[in-house]
Amino acid sequence: MINLSHLTPKLALTACLSILLVNCSPVTPTATPPTAAPAVTVPNTAVAPPAATAVPAATVVPAATSAPSPAAEQPKRGGTFVVALGANPEHLNISLSSSVIVGLAASAATEGLVRIGRDYQLKPALATSWNVSTDGKTITFKLRPGVKWHDGKPLTSADVKYTFEKISPLHPRASSVFKNVDSIEAPDDQTVVIKLKVAFAPFVDFLTAENTGIQPKHIYDGTDPLKNSANNAPVGTGPFKFDSWKPGESVTFVRNPDYWDTGKPYVDRLVFRILPDSNSRILALESGDVDFVSNYDIAFTDVARLRKSKDITIEDGRGHPRVLLLFFNTKKPPLDDVRVRGALFRGLDRKLMLDSGFANIGGLGTSSISPAMSWAYNPDVDYMKLFAYDTARANQELDAAGFKKGADGNRFTVRFTYDPAQPGFKEVADVLRANWQALGVNVALESRERSVWLDLVYTKKDYDTSIAFYTSSGDVVFGIQRAYTCAEIRPATFTNASQYCNPELDKLFDQGAIAVTREERAKPYKQAQTIIAKDLPSAVLIDSGFADAVRNKFGNLKIFFDSPETTSPWYAQIYQK
């Protein structure tokens, strides 16, 4: 048994995956994948992820060129690729936000050191190779030579060092990962040396644009990164250069003629049309006014019809495991009473939500850790059994909790705050209101524009109940525990909105990190699921499916979709046939 009791909880957390992955049999550099995809009712064409392996100690990852285009078809140049966005982005700096809306647009201009494929293999991006020391604590990156920022200045190791030291700690996911960094050195312009406090094998896997997009030091140095004007007019190294932003209408990027991947991108312009109305997005796709609607912005209720179109291709299964969480604000009476939370959850027809909001694409939520992460999932914690839809029993539980119906038939009022631009959310809201009104609970639906919703739920905590998609990012550590742990009660998007804090639960999450094997990691994670099911600060309504839609007048679709990260379609590779 390895004794890590001397480490702080945060260091113990990072030690986990290091110990786990170093003990795996190294083959090629891979990211830590989920072990299965959620059950869906449509064909899933995604490549099955391999077993997790680590970057072997003292192994240099060779440089790689872009994946070749299909032999039967030569890419053409020119034209415009139009992407639908379901909301106006908060800004355009992917390095400061985990927002998919921000990332979908900003990833056209911003790159990370690595890319991740749907097979969970790592691919070089701004780094051509990396070397991990035998103790796993020192990682040396070699940067791609000749890369230029969009303003013509050269990319150097100073930019990477600045990004990781000053900007990454401000990112909702990256902040906890970079607390494990002891130092970052830039011995020459093309070399970055990162020293970790403890070995943490998945560190390289995390360094994609979605989590740690590299930003220009000469633009940000000496400023407050959160207030820098470049956040709204990004200067990157990517295939497209920022051109203009018409808030509420569109964001436009143009081809970067000096892109390091010679000959890319193929299209001349990349336009993100802001279409908050779901029906408008689909109609624009069908008419040809929009070329691509991502799995984050597509209305699943339209997928069956879109499949029949000769002009549209549906790509299934592209994405990390993702769940739809129902948050209860545990600081607001009567939601501070676990009996009330349980009764309200029991009173929800989640099957109807899945059918009406998501066309039965995906599955019903069963636990705080998705069955898609089968090694950590606890089958004994099944929300569909523990909280089976039962209006009569839910009414009895609310009575027993002391919240009896008044003369008007109402027990109390609950505010439900949500973003109506998110596909399926209005349907979920309608089912929720009808279900809870059947319990004598008056529901005040608060439909709020995305930026307002984010502020109310995550910054001000001024809400009663709300819903949001949470993505696993490939591991419990990176994607799931942020919704439940004490440290994540902070004014940052997609963190612990319920404000639930349980030191016993935090300890289990830490133990899940320290364990040596996946079997040992699973034990505390399964206990954690039991506690979450008992206290129910939030509840998983749906295990999401995935469907992207693109007009098939474009080629290289297999390569375009070669990432499980919703924010990272490979824009440089798409071309008009």
pLDDT category of residue 45 using cuts at 50, 70 and 90? very low
* Torsion of the alpha carbons at 83, 232, 179 and 212, rounded to the nearest 10: 40
In-domain check, residue 212 = yes
Q: Mean pLDDT across the chain, nearest whole number?
A: 87
**Same domain? 326 vs 436:** yes
- With CA atoms as reference, report the closest residue to 184 among 209, 207, 218, 153: 207
Q: Are 29 and 126 within one domain? A: yes
Does residue 310 lie in a domain region?
Answer: no
For 233-261, the pLDDT digits (tens) are: 999 999 999 999 999 999 999 999 999 99
Q: Is the peptide bond before 503 cis (omega within 30 degrees of 0)?
A: no
Give me the number of domains the chain comprises. Answer: 2
Residue 297 has pLDDT above 90, yes or no: yes
> What's 14-50 look like in SS3?
HHHHHHHHHCCCCCCCECCCCCCCCCCCCCCCCCCCC
Q: Are 540 and 363 in contact (CB under 8 A)?
A: no
CA 159, distance to chain mean position in Å, is 25
Sheet of 250-255, strand order: 240-246, 250-255, 269-274, 80-85, 292-293, 547-551, 312-316
Cα–Cα distances (Å) from 359 to 41, 42, 320, in that order, read: 9, 10, 20
What pLDDT shows up at residue 33?
47
Domain assignment present for residue 365? The answer is yes
Contact present, 110 and 215 (Cβ < 8 Å)? yes
Residue 464 counted as domain residue: yes
Position 414 in a domain:
yes
User: Looking at the structure, do residues 45 and 117 belong to the same domain, yes or no?
Assistant: yes
CATH of the domain at 54: 3.90.76.10
> Do residues 25 and 153 both lie within one domain?
yes
Which of these ranges, 8-12, 135-139, 153-157, 220-224, has the smallest mean pLDDT? 8-12
What the block records as the tokens of 259 is 């892109």
DSSP state of 195: E
Q: Which residues pair with 447 in a beta bridge?
A: 418
Q: What is the pLDDT of residue 25?
A: 31
Tell me: the pLDDT tens digits for 103-152? 999 999 999 999 999 888 899 999 999 999 998 899 999 999 999 999 99
Closest of 322, 297, 293, 325 to residue 309, by C-alpha: 293
Identify the domain containing residue 134 by its residue range.
Answer: 9-231+547-576
Report the distance separating Cα 532 and Cα 442, nearest Å: 26
- 433 within 8 A of 402, measured Cβ to Cβ: no
Question: Between residues 13 and 273, which one has the greater pLDDT?
Answer: 273
Residue 168 is given by DSSP the state: G
Is 263 part of any domain?
no
* Top mean-pLDDT range of 14-28, 153-167, 362-376, 470-484: 153-167
Integer Cα distance of 300 and 75 in angstroms:
31
pLDDT at 428 over 50: yes
Q: Three-state secondary structure along 94-140?
A: HHHCCCHHHHHHHCCCCCCCEEECCCCEEEECCEEEEEECCCCCEEE
Q: Is 449 helix (H, G, I), strand (E, B) or coil?
A: coil
Looking at residue 54, what is its pLDDT? 39
Residue at 262 is within a domain: no
Contact 312, 282 (CB under 8 A): no
Q: Are 418 and 448 in contact (CB under 8 A)?
A: yes
Cα(346)–Cα(532) distance, integer angstroms = 15
Q: Which residue has the higher pLDDT, 56 or 504?
A: 504
Band of residue 515 on the pLDDT scale cut at 50, 70, 90: low
- pLDDT tens-digit series, residues 47-99: 333 333 333 444 445 444 444 444 557 898 999 999 999 999 999 999 999 89
- What is the separation of C-alpha 323 from the centre of its chain, rounded to a whole number of angstroms? 10
- Looking at the fold, whether 465 and 568 belong to one and the same domain comes out as no
**Which of 173-177, 288-292, 461-465, 534-538 has the lowest average pLDDT?**
173-177
Q: What is the pLDDT of residue 46?
A: 32
Please report the pLDDT score of residue 40 as a whole number.
34
The secondary element (H helix, E strand) that includes residue 177 is: helix 174-177
Q: Positive or negative, the Cα torsion across 518, 209, 181, 128? A: positive
User: Is residue 290 one of the residues assigned to a domain?
Assistant: no
Asked if residue 481 and residue 568 are part of one domain, the reply reads no
pLDDT tens, 206-229? 899 999 999 999 999 999 999 999
Q: 226 and 332 in one domain? A: no
**Residue 571 contacts residue 107 (beta carbons within 8 Å):** yes
Could you tell me whether strands 412-418 and 465-471 are parallel, antiparallel, or unpaired per DSSP bridges? parallel
Are 497 and 552 found together in one domain?
Answer: no
Cα–Cα distances in Å, from 264 out to 56, 112, 113, 459? 32, 17, 18, 40
Strand, coil or helix: 444: strand
Q: Do 187 and 329 fall into the same domain?
A: no
Average pLDDT (157-180) is 91
Beta strand ranges found along 202-356 (DSSP E): 240-246, 250-255, 269-274, 292-293, 312-316, 322-328
Q: Would residue 78 be called left, alpha or beta, if left means φ above 0 and alpha means ψ between -120 and 50 degrees? A: left
Quick one: 538 and 553 in the same domain? no
3-class DSSP state of 572: helix
pLDDT of 11 > 50? The answer is: no
Range with lowest mean pLDDT among 38-47, 163-172, 236-245: 38-47
Asked whether residue 190 falls in the same domain as residue 96, the answer is yes
- Together in a domain, 537 and 551: no
Give pLDDT tens digits for 429-473.
999 999 999 999 999 999 999 999 999 999 999 999 999 999 887
Amino acid making up residue 24: C
Whether 26 shows a pLDDT value over 50: the answer reads no
Confidence of residue 514 (pLDDT cuts 50, 70, 90): low
Please, are residues 508 and 527 in contact by the beta-carbon 8 Å criterion? yes
Using alpha carbons, list the distances in angstroms from residue 369 to 38, 242, 379.
Answer: 12, 38, 10
Q: What is the CATH number of the domain that holds 353?
A: 3.10.105.10
pLDDT > 90: percent of the chain: 74
497 with 489: CB under 8 angstroms? no
Cα–Cα distance measured from residue 444 to residue 437, given in angstroms and rounded to the nearest whole number: 10
Structure-token pair, residue 145:
């030579």
Provide the pLDDT for residue 387.
98
